[in-house]
Chains A and B, each alone.
Chain A
Amino acid sequence: MQIFHCPFCGPRPDAEFHYAGDADKPRPARDCSDEEWARYLLMRANARGVARELWVHRAGCGRWIVLARDTVSHEIGGSEPLNP
């Protein structure tokens, strides 16, 4: 029941969005180590406090956004397009 701010649509209910994982996770190149790949594929930051998360505005503009969200207070910070 949170309100997210979509950079394209403005404030919208969270039910319109679909969670898609941690933001800021660059995809390693093919020659990376098994450990590095496993970190990218499987490990989550699971931040206590402000987390930068990827969300898709599925029931809205359909765009992917990066949202700063406090996982404790559920306060919503800024958001930006994943691909500006």
Chain B
Amino acid sequence: MSTSRRLPAGGEIDRSRPLNFSFDGRALSGYAGDTVASALLASGVQVLARSFKYHRPRGLLGVDHEEPNAILDLRLGARHDPNARATLEPLAEGLQLSSVHALGTAGRDLLAVLDRGARFIPAAFYYKTFMWPHWHVYEGMIRRLAGLGRVDARSRAQAAPHRHLAVDLCVVGAGAAGLAAARGAVAAGRSVLLVEQRTRVGGALLWRDATVEGEPGSRWAGRVAAGLEAAGARVLAGTAAVGLYDHNAVVLHERGPDGGRIWQVRAREIVLTTGAIERPLLFGDNDRPGVMLADAALEYLRRYAVVAGERIVFATGNDTTYVAAQAFAAAGARCTIVDSRTGSPAQDAARAAGIEVVAGARVERALGRGRVEGARLASGATLSADLLAVSGGWTPLIHLYCQARGRPRWDEERGTLLPGEPVAGLRVAGAAGGARSLAEALAAGAHAGTGGGRVEIPDCDDRPFDWGGPPDTRMAFGERRAWVDLQNDVTAKDVALAVRENFRAVEHLKRYTTLGMASDQGRTSNVNGLALLAERTGRTLAQAGVTTFRPPFLPVSLAAVAGTQRGELQAPLRRLPAEEVHRAEGAELREYGDTLRPAAYGTSHDALLRECRAARERCVILDASSLGKIEVQGPDAAALLDFVFYTRLSNLAPGRLRYALALAESGAIFDDGVVLRVAAEHFVVSCSSSHVRAMTAHLEEWREDRFDLSRVFVHDATPQWATMAISGPQSRRVLEALALGVDLDDAAFPHMSAHDGVFAGRRARIARVSFTGERSYEVSVPAGLAAELWRRARAAGAEPLGVEALGALRCEKGFILVGVETDGETMPHDIGMGRARETRTDAYLGDRSLFTPAACRSGRRQLVGVAAASAAPLPVGAHALSRAGGRRRSVGWVTSSHPSAALGRPVALAMIEDGASRHGEELEFEHFGAMHRGTLVAPCFLDPSGARLNV
């Protein structure tokens, strides 16, 4: 079976560089310049894959991106691609390839038995059959059978960073028309990007004979491309334009190892010269390995010197196929053309060249098991063959035109969909635009490239292009199944069934049968499917409509989409300036919002209780550098803050701080924080760490909306400052040891006031504000001094405190965390902060929302403490139950719950309906079926009078 099908000479391959590779364990070889597909074909491997649904053997139908079958698992060193497309993958030394959809190998697939039960698996079989009692009963089994390839979860493919480019003109497709367009544009002085999906420019000039400007077409193409590059244009081969978006944004995918690279291009104008692809013919068993598109067979012959068959039956209804037949006859193959037409002049020419032509005949079915051995004609005659080269006419590639909201129209003469009304900024030329000859393609390309003005049109010999007319459906419903969509295993009978069940609209047909839905996006199947739909519903093809074309035109690996935007580059972590010091102290660092902070020093549960005890009994130091420090300055600073904050701030005295809430316009609590008035026109807003950017944007929004921009400024200075919170009954002693040059006497420096000091010769700001309920000092110094401040405070006796222990300490005090205790419905009066609502009459954000019926009704969830009945903390998220009226109902939930070192029992906060007036009531709490009990109490478990602030 491993007979070489390679011609002794010719093609683009480099015979001096043989490459070894393997397929399903078989050692094979090819040459540099081969694709995986051409090398497999040259090695005589015919069965490359098993089909999606029926596990039928499949070979190569196409040669490029239209190929529906040849998807392989590829390994090369550390690289693993579970969905490599054989036709697009360059051959490389050491490639290990294997079939992806078989139990065993593609040659001997143990699941092929599914095909024998095929009449029990019609379209929508899965939808209909596995609904009772429930899809999930069957899902696991079906998912194991489905899918193409297995993802390697360990794969760490790292694609290249995206590149961005702006050009006057982007030409998509470097065939004859594209090259003419690019050359014309460069001559007109425009910056040009020419994109070619194949690895080489030239399009069909690479495999169909032509003479352009006096030289062979492929050589002309190479010369023009070199000239373009010399003139400053960029030519990207091996790169597909996969998406066309608003305002002429073109997304390209440059293929390469590890997923390749994405290009984001912005073009003033776009020219689509994407060519046309051949359609298969509909007849029985037309999916047999050895059935290949005629033009694809020609490309394998000319570019890779691979003769796909020695005894070839061409089945066609157009003249273009005769070009391929002549080439194979010249290469020594025995060729027979089965032509549905009679009387074409091409037939006489072929006969004259010694090719047998059966005119007015159609192939009814392919013969052979596992691979093509012949063809039976509708007349009953049989022909032996090892290759059935088919042509069902041509379809222009107008996906990008459709993505740009162009609407295709049915062209009866060519029998295909062509671009309809023009789209601004976009031209379509060459075969994609319906050109009927090489000369027409070159002329249209040149005109499209210059966009008017003087045009130089390359001259060429006469090469007419026969589009072939509409799809021929006469052999689609024979005794053997005819395949429409090979990749999704959709047959003509499936289309007929869908129509019988009234899925007559084209979009319904697509979804019901999955026609055209796989990774090849129905490249070879859409128009044939439309023709069958039209035939079965008694409509014309023009009436049948088209499905929507969506990006991407070709599958793009997720690695390429991600580019370098992965891990920390995708979501950068904010780090504390003293991170190294925390690591040295044995901190366990965790992400809080987007900041990496010490959770605890040491990992055990004991660490948390130890840190809590230190805070209540001695002195702790917490790195609070990530807390917001948003500067608000200017004559209108107080007015801006009065509007943005629910808590009035304009009556705050300079040097003093106030705890303040900010609301969203919906009345919900947006954030809380402490605001310091440094001077009459200078405030610093210290908000929650994870809300700094949102709070800055919030202030900026209302500054823009309502204020004279020259009278108030907002600036986020958070990263400039490091802040250490030093807290506990012995904290004043630590502050004294730091010698910051501040009078620490409580009369001069009371709670909620701030002073400037000096640390290491630099300005420091010291504020008395407490998140623990203990006497506390927040010392802010320039960020570079963070480690120094930490070390000196530690030397003075402060013990480290992590974020987790802080959570327990603030829970004992009933201090809320916005987004933990509160949600999008929580208003200030729900957490006992209703005073400003009662007293403020001036405008502030969210004001009116606090007086709607919903805000005023009883039964709102309110903040309470919960004393658990048992020694174990209540689970966070446990629902409080009401059994009123014999009906179980949730009346709220636990929002925070911690062990308390100071109290020796757990403490919890909860949001409970009317909770503020229900202190003393015992409630049931349910969490995933487990029941707990707890008593509602005031949301402060420790030191309600605040005496400890001044201990």
C-alpha spacing A63/B703, complex, angstroms: 11
B852 to chain A, nearest CB (A): 6
Q: Which of A2, A20, A34, A83 contacts B852 (CB 8 A)?
A: A34
| A82 contact from B266, B704, B843, Cβ within 8 A | B704
Residue of B with least CB distance to A38: B852
Q: Is A64 in contact with B701, judged by CB distance below 8 angstroms?
A: yes
Does B843 contact A83, Cβ atoms closer than 8 Å?
A: no
Known contacts A30-B848, A83-B709; A62 and B700 CB within 8 A of each other = yes
**How far apart sit A76 and B847, CA to CA, in the bound complex (Å)?**
35
A residues near B421, Cβ cutoff 8 Å: none
Which residues in B have their C-beta under 8 angstroms from that of A3?
Answer: 247, 266
Chain B proximity mask over A12-24: 1 for CB below 8 Å, otherwise 0: 0000000010000
Whole-angstrom distance from the CB of A8 to the nearest CB of chain B?
12
Residues of A near B697 (CB, < 8 A) are 56, 58
For A56, the chain B residues whose CB sits under 8 A away are 697, 700-701
- Contact check, A2 vs B701: say whether CB atoms are below 8 A apart: no
Contacts of A32 in B (CB 8 A): 848
CA distance A36 to B784 in the complex (A): 52
Distance in Å: Cβ of B850 to nearest Cβ of chain A: 10
Give the distance to chain B from A66, nearest Cβ to Cβ, in Å. Answer: 11
Known contacts A2-B246, A3-B247; is-contact A37 B849 (Cβ 8 Å): yes
**CB of A60 closer than 8 Å to a CB of B:** no
Task: Give the Cβ gap from B639 to chain A, nearest Cβ, in Å.
Answer: 15
Which residue from chain A places its CB closest to the CB of B853 in the assembled complex? A34
Given the known interface contacts A34-B852, A41-B666, A41-B849, the answer about A20 and B249 at a Cβ–Cβ threshold of 8 Å is no
With A1-B246, A74-B246, A74-B247 as contacts: A20 and B849 at CB distance below 8 Å: no
Asked if A77 lies at the interface with its beta carbon under 8 angstroms from chain B, I say no
- The residue of chain A having its C-beta at the shortest distance from the C-beta of B847 within the complex is A30
A56 to B703, CA, bound (A): 13
Nearest A residue to B245, CB-CB: A1
Closest chain B residue to A81, Cβ basis: B704
Contact B701 A83 (CB under 8 A): no
Residues of A within 8 A of B245 (CB): 1
Residue of B247, B249, B849, B853 most packed against chain A (CB within 10 A): B247
Among B246, B697, B707, B847, chain A packs the most CB atoms within 10 A around the CB of: B246
* Contact of A78 with B by CB under 8 A: no
Kindly state whether residue A28 has any CB partner on chain B within 8 Å. yes
B705 within 8 A of A: yes
| Contact present for B705 and A37 (CB under 8 Å) | no
Least CB separation from A74: chain B residue: B246
Evaluate contact between A63 and B704: CB separation under 8 angstroms.
yes
B705 partner, pick from A29, A38, A62, A82, beta carbons under 8 A: A82
> Which residues of B from 836 to 861 have beta carbons under 8 Å from A?
841, 843, 847-849, 852-853
Contact residues of A: prevailing secondary structure: loop
| Interface 0/1 of B377-421, CB less than 8 Å to A | 000000000000000000000000000000000000000000000
In the assembled complex, how far is the CB of residue B670 from the closest CB belonging to chain A, in whole angstroms? 14
Nearest chain B CB to A56 CB, angstrom units: 7
Any A CB within 8 A of the CB of B258: no
Q: Scan residues 690-715 of chain B and give those whose CB is less than 8 A from a CB of chain A.
A: 697, 700-701, 704-705, 707, 709
B924: interface (CB < 8 Å): no
Assess whether B804 is interfacial by the CB under 8 Å rule: no
B588 contacts partner chain A, Cβ-Cβ < 8 Å: no
Q: Is B665 an interface residue (CB 8 A)?
A: yes
Given contacts A41-B849, A83-B709, contact A20 B247 (CB under 8 A): no
B849 and A64 form a contact (CB under 8 A): no
Complex interface: chain A residues within 8 A of B700 (CB): 56, 62, 64
B834 → A minimal CB distance (Å): 17
With a cutoff of 8 Å between Cβ atoms, the chain B residues found around residue A2 in the complex are: 246-247
Bound complex: CA of A37 vs CA of B266, how far in Å? Answer: 43
* Residues from chain A with Cβ under 8 Å of B704 in the complex: 63-64, 82-83
- Docked complex: B223-278 residues within 8 A CB-CB of A: 245-247, 249, 266
**Chain A residue at minimum C-beta to C-beta distance from B243:** A1
Residues of B within 8 A of A41 (CB): 665-666, 849
Cα A2 to Cα B246 with chains together (Å): 5
Q: Which residues of A contact B848 (CB under 8 A)?
A: 28, 30, 32, 37
Tell me the complex Cα distance, A41–B667, Å.
10
Q: Distance in Å from the Cβ of B560 to the closest Cβ of chain A?
A: 17
Distance from A14 Cβ to chain B, minimum over Cβ atoms (Å) = 8
Which of B245, B666, B704 has the largest count of A CB atoms less than 10 A from its CB? B704
Which of chain A's residues have a CB closer than 8 A to the CB of B705? Answer: 64, 82-83
CB distance from A12 to the nearest CB of B (A): 11
Which residues of B are found within 8 Å of A74, using beta-carbon distances? 246-247
- Measured CB to CB, the closest approach of chain A to B557, in angstroms, equals 20
B148 nearest CB across to chain A (Å): 30
Q: How far is the CA of A28 from the CA of B704 in the complex (A)?
A: 17
Report the minimal beta-carbon distance from A71 to chain B, rounded to whole angstroms: 12
The residues of A that contact B707 with a CB separation of less than 8 Å are 83
Give A73 Cβ to nearest chain B Cβ, in Å: 9
Inter-chain CA distance A83–B849, complex, in Å, is: 25
When distances are taken between beta carbons in the complex, the residues of chain B under 8 Å from A82 are: 704-705
- Closest A residue to B693 by beta carbon equals A58
Q: Is the CB of B843 within 8 A of A30?
A: yes
Q: How far is the CB of A28 from chain B (nearest CB, A)?
A: 7
Q: Which of A40-63 contact B (CB under 8 A)?
A: 41, 56, 58, 62-63
A38 partner residues in chain B, CB cutoff 8 A: 852
Task: Tell me whether A20 and B701 are in contact in the complex, defined as CB-CB below 8 angstroms, given that A1-B247, A34-B853, A41-B666 are known contacts.
Answer: yes
Cα distance A56–B699 in the bound complex, in angstroms: 13
Q: Report the bound CA distance from A81 to B246 in whole Å.
A: 24
Q: Return B699 CB to nearest CB of chain A, in Å.
A: 12
- Of A30, A34, A62, A64, which is in contact with the most chain B CB atoms at under 10 Å from its CB? A30
Chain A contacts for B853, CB-based, 8 A? 34
Q: Which chain B residue shows the least CB distance to A82?
A: B704
- Report Cα–Cα, A83/B707, bound state, in Å: 8
- Residues in B847-882 with C-beta less than 8 Å from chain A: 847-849, 852-853
The contact string, 1 if C-beta is below 8 Å from chain A, for chain B 65-82, is 000000000000000000
CA distance A64 to B703 in the complex (A): 10
Q: Given the interface contacts A30-B847, A56-B697, A64-B701, does A37 sit within 8 Å of B247 by beta carbon? A: no
Q: How many angstroms from the CA of A32 to the CA of B266 in the assembled complex? A: 48
Within the complex, what minimum Cβ distance (angstroms) separates A10 from chain B?
A: 13
Min CB–CB distance B266 → chain A (angstroms):
8
Within the complex, the shortest CB–CB distance from B479 to chain A, in Å, comes to: 51
Once the chains are docked, how many angstroms separate the CA of A29 from the CA of B246? Answer: 40
Report the minimal beta-carbon distance from B319 to chain A, rounded to whole angstroms: 42
Q: How far is the CA of A42 from the CA of B266 in the complex (A)?
A: 37
Shortest distance between the CB of B501 and any CB in chain A (Å): 35
Residues of A within 8 A of B701 (CB): 20, 56, 64
In the docked arrangement, what's the CA distance between A29 and B707, Å?
A: 17
Q: How far is the CA of A30 from the CA of B846 in the complex (A)?
A: 10
Cβ of A42 to closest chain B Cβ, rounded Å:
9
> Which chain B residues numbered 704 to 760 have a C-beta less than 8 Å away from chain A?
704-705, 707, 709
Cα–Cα, bound, A38→B849 (Å): 9
Contacts A56-B701, A82-B704 given; indicate if A1 touches B249 (C-beta within 8 A).
Answer: yes
User: How far apart sit A83 and B709, CA to CA, in the bound complex (Å)?
Assistant: 8
Q: Closest chain A residue to B664 by CB distance?
A: A41
User: Using Cβ atoms and an 8 Å threshold, which residues of chain B touch A30?
Assistant: 841, 843, 847-848
Residues of A within 8 A of B847 (CB): 30
* Nearest CB of B to A45, in Å: 17
A84 nearest in chain B by CB position: B709
Contacts of B709 in A (CB 8 A): 83
Instruction: List residues of chain B with CB within 8 A of the CB of A37.
Output: 848-849, 852
Which A-B residue pairs are the 4 nearest by beta carbons?
Answer: A1-B245, A1-B249, A64-B704, A2-B246
Q: Can you report 9 residue pairs joining A to B where beta carbons are below 8 Å apart?
A: A1-B245, A2-B247, A20-B701, A37-B848, A56-B701, A62-B700, A64-B700, A74-B247, A82-B704
Known: A1-B245, A41-B666, A63-B704. 16 other contacts (CB 8 A): A3-B247, A3-B266, A29-B843, A30-B841, A30-B847, A30-B848, A32-B848, A34-B853, A37-B849, A56-B697, A56-B701, A58-B697, A64-B700, A74-B246, A82-B705, A83-B704
